[in-house]
Amino acid sequence: MAQQTAGPSGGRRASARLLWTGCAVLLLDQVVKKLVVSLMPLGDSVDLLGPVVRLTRTENTGAAFGLFRGRSAVFIVISSLAAVAIVAFRREIAKLVRVEQLAFALVLGGALGNLADRVRRGAVIDFIDIGIRDLRWPAFNVADSAIVIGVTLLAVRFLFFARPGAPDPLPPSPDREPE
């Protein structure tokens, strides 16, 4: 991953931005889930864009998209470790290019959003339901989306732009000093 040395105040700003963005994702996730829980009984479904995009309130004791159901305790540990690692390494993450910082912030917020559900409810509230007729993607939520987007951004950066000796196509963040 691209890394440049940040000045002292730039590193603090980038570190704070990482934490604030993660908190914003957490807040958005929890507010939307609270609305869904308060307005929809479990199993209810409402068409948003015809039958293609629906809100369907479900609960998931597994990982994103319904994988590994019934293993909530394992995912409490995984989410906790991911969040602690991101916070612990926030100063190193602050030295990365902005898209990588954003990716880690999205993963942080998503991990905390689903962690909050698992700790409080023993399951994650899912509600975004996409598909056609019986061909439906497993229901997901804002936190799942943030994690997937964050991991995808990191994968794309790593696979296509982080080659040794390759020039970085992204401009440096204004918070960082060039090497």
pLDDT of residue 64: 61
Task: Print pLDDT tens along the chain (179 aa).
Answer: 555 544 455 688 999 999 999 999 999 999 999 999 999 999 999 999 999 999 999 998 876 656 667 677 888 999 999 999 999 999 999 999 999 999 999 999 999 999 999 999 999 999 999 999 889 999 999 999 999 999 999 999 988 876 665 556 565 566 554 44
User: Considering the domain boundaries, does residue 120 fall inside one?
Assistant: yes
User: Considering the domain boundaries, does residue 171 fall inside one?
Assistant: no
User: Considering the domain boundaries, does residue 70 fall inside one?
Assistant: yes
**CA–CA distance from 128 to each of 69, 85, 120, 152, 154 (Å)?**
18, 28, 21, 19, 24
User: Considering the domain boundaries, does residue 16 fall inside one?
Assistant: yes
Q: Which residues are catalytic?
A: 126, 144
User: Considering the domain boundaries, does residue 141 fall inside one?
Assistant: yes
User: Considering the domain boundaries, does residue 154 fall inside one?
Assistant: yes
User: Considering the domain boundaries, does residue 3 fall inside one?
Assistant: no
Range(s) of the domain holding residue 94: 8-161
Total number of domains constituting the chain: 1
User: Considering the domain boundaries, does residue 129 fall inside one?
Assistant: yes
CB-CB contact of 124 with 37 (8 Å): no
pLDDT of residue 26: 98
